[in-house]
A = this chain, B = another copy of it.
Amino acid sequence: MQEELMGKIMEEVMKKLDTNDKDEKIETKSKTSKKYCGLTEFVGTAIGDTIGLVIANVDYTLHEFMKLDKKYRSIGIVGGRTGAGPQIMAADEAVKATNTEIITIELPRDTKGGAGHGSLIMFGAEDVSDARRAVEVTLKELDRTFGDVYGNEAGHLEFQYTARASYACEKAFGAPIGKSFGLIVGAPAAIGVLIADVAVKAANVDIISYSSPAQGSSFSNEVTLAVSGDSGAVRQSVIAAREVGIKILATLGEEPKTDTTPYI
Question: Are B109 and A219 within 8 A (Cβ)?
Answer: yes
Stretch of A31-39, A141-149, A173-181 with 4 or more beta carbons under 8 angstroms from chain B = A31-39
Which residues of A19-38 have CB atoms within 8 Å of chain B's CB atoms? Answer: 31-32, 35-38
Q: Which residues of B contact A215 (CB under 8 A)?
A: 67, 106
Q: How many copies does the complex hold?
A: 3
Question: Are A61 and B207 within 8 A (Cβ)?
Answer: yes
Closest 9 CB pairs of A and B: A79-B190, A113-B113, A108-B213, A108-B221, A218-B219, A65-B210, A106-B214, A109-B219, A120-B189
Q: Which residues of B contact A166 (CB under 8 A)?
A: none
- Output the nearest chain B residue to A66 by Cβ-Cβ distance: B210
Q: Which residues of B contact A106 (CB under 8 A)?
A: 189, 212-215
List residues of A whose CB falls within 8 A of some B CB.
2, 5-6, 8-10, 12-14, 16-17, 31-32, 35-39, 41-42, 45, 49-53, 55, 58-59, 61-62, 65-67, 77-81, 106-110, 112-115, 118, 120, 122, 153-155, 188-191, 193-194, 196-197, 200-201, 207, 209-210, 212-215, 217-223, 225, 244, 247-248, 250-254
Question: Are B207 and A42 within 8 A (Cβ)?
Answer: no
Q: Which residues of B contact A55 (CB under 8 A)?
A: 193-194, 197
Q: Which residues of B contact A36 (CB under 8 A)?
A: 251
Question: Are A49 and B118 within 8 A (Cβ)?
Answer: no
CB of A185 to closest CB in B, whole Å? 13
